[in-house]
Amino acid sequence: MKIKYNLLHKDVNSEARYGKLETKRGIFETPMFMPVGTLANVKTLTPEELKEVNSGIILSNTYHLWLRPGEDIVAKAGGLHKFMNWDGPILTDSGGFQVFSLAEKKNILEEGVFFKSHLDGKKLFLTPELSIEIQNKLNSDIAMSFDECPPYPVTYDYMKNSVERTLRWAKRGKNVHNNPNQALFGIVQGGEFEDLRKFSAIETVKMDFDGYSIGGTSVGEDKDTMYKMVEYSTPYIPSDKVRYLMGVGDPIDIIEGVIRGVDIFDCVLPTRLARHASAFTKYGKLNLKNAKFKEDFTTLDPTCECYTCQNYTKAYLRHLFVSKESLGGRLLSIHNIRFLIKLTEELREAIKENKILEYREDFIKNYYSEEKNN
C-alpha cells in the first residue's frame, strides 16, 4: 500500500470533509497541517518536539536537498527518514516552486528548466524526470509531479500554455516514477481562470495519481482570488482521493480551504513568523517585541496546551527576542505549529458535527477581536 484516503463524513452545509489518510507509517485524520522541513529539518525543532505537538506528516523540499547535501548522500544514509531521524510520513515537493521563485535567470523549455542556483550561481537543468528520480532516491512517502509555477498575474494565453506544459510534464514524470513504496501526486494549475482550472483538474485526474494538489496559490493574489482558485479546482478531484493545498498556512485561509473541500495544508509561515517574534493566538497574532509585553506575565494563549504556553510568559519571550536569544524562535515555533495543528483538530470535530460554518464565524470573531492592537 502506498496511501489510501477514506472519506468518513462530509459537512452538510459546505464541501468540508473529515477523513483518514492511511500510509505505511500510520493512519492520520484530515484535515491536517504539515510542518515544513525544507532541508530535512523543521527549523530549530527536533523530531521529538514535532511529535509532541502531534505532527503527522511533514514536508521536505526536493530542490534544496538536491543542491545540498544531494540526493545520493541521503540515499546512502538509508533515505530521508533515517537521514533526519523521522519515522512518520514525509511528503517531498517537486522543486518546481523553488525553481520559479528562488532561482535566477530561468529559461523554460519543453524539456525542462535551465536556471542558476540561488546558492552559488551554478547553471542547472531540472526536468520532470530528474525531479521524480531525485524524489525516488530521497524515498519520501509522497512525491509531487514537477510543474510550472507561473507568477501572478499572467495573461490567459500564458497560463493556457503553462497548464498544457505542466500536463505534459506530469505524464513524463509519472512514466518514470519507479518507487513502489512512494505515492505520486498530480498538481492542478490554471491561475485565476476557471476554465483552465477545470481543464487542468480533469486532465490531471485522467492520469490517475494517488492524490491531487492545488498549486499556483499564495503567489501574490488577493484572498478572494485564492479562494476562487480552490473552488474552481476541487469539484473535479475524485472524492476518494486526498486534496492538498500547497503553501497555505494562515489560519483563516486554512479554514476557508477546508470549507472548500481541502484535506491537507503546508506552509513555512508558523516557523517564519516565530523567528520574527510573531505568535498565533486565538485572539489574533501577537508581536512579542511590543513594549506592552515587558511586564506581561501571562501565557501566550490560555487555550493552548503546548510546551511554550505551559511554561513561559509573554514577558520572558519578549526578553528572549529583545536580547536576540535563539530560544525565542524555538519556543514560538513550537507554539505556532501546535496552534495550526490544533486548529485542524478542531475543524475535524466541527465537520463531524456539521458545524464548520459556525466554527468559522466564531473563530474569525475571536481572531480579529484584538489583532488590530497587537
Q: What is the pLDDT of residues 140-196, one digit of tens each?
A: 999 999 999 999 999 999 999 999 999 999 999 999 999 999 999 999 999 999 999
Residues 6+ away with beta carbon under 8 Å from 255: 343, 347, 359, 360, 363
> Residue 370: what pLDDT?
65
Report the side by side order of strands in the sheet with 113-116: 104-108, 113-116, 123-126
Domain range summary for the chain, segments of one domain joined by +: 3-267, 275-373
Query: First vs last Cα of the chain: how many Å apart?
Result: 48
- What residues are labeled active site? 93, 266
Give per-residue pLDDT as tens, 223-265. 999 999 999 999 999 999 999 999 999 999 999 999 999 999 9
> Residue 339: what pLDDT?
99
Dist CA 194 CA 310 (whole Å): 46
- 3-267: CATH topology is TIM Barrel (3.20.20)
Dist CA 153 CA 320 (whole Å): 40
In sequence order, what E strands does the chain have? 3-10, 17-23, 26-30, 32-35, 58-61, 90-93, 104-108, 113-116, 123-126, 142-144, 183-188, 211-214, 242-245, 264-267, 278-279, 286-287
278 SS3 class: strand
Pairing of strands 142-144, 90-93: parallel
Phi, psi of 107 (to 5 degrees): -135, 105
Give the residue ranges of DSSP H helices in 31-153.
47-52, 62-67, 71-76, 80-84, 96-101, 128-138
> Residue 373: what pLDDT?
47
Q: Are 183 and 142 in contact (CB under 8 A)?
A: yes
> What predicted TM-score, i.e. pTM, was given to this entire model?
0.97
Dihedral (CA of 218, 221, 222, 228) sign:
negative
Give the Å distances, CA to CA, from 29 to 126, 254, 284, 331. Answer: 34, 15, 26, 26
CB under 8 A, 24+ apart: contacts of 311-317: 314/286, 314/288, 317/277, 317/279, 317/288, 317/293
Give Cα 166 distance to the centre of its chain: 20
Give a three-class secondary structure readout of 119-161.
CCCCEEEECHHHHHHHHHHHCCCEEECCCCCCCCCCCHHHHHH
Q: Which residues of the chain have pLDDT under 70?
A: 370-374
Q: Does residue 89 have a cis bond before it (omega within 30 degrees)? A: no
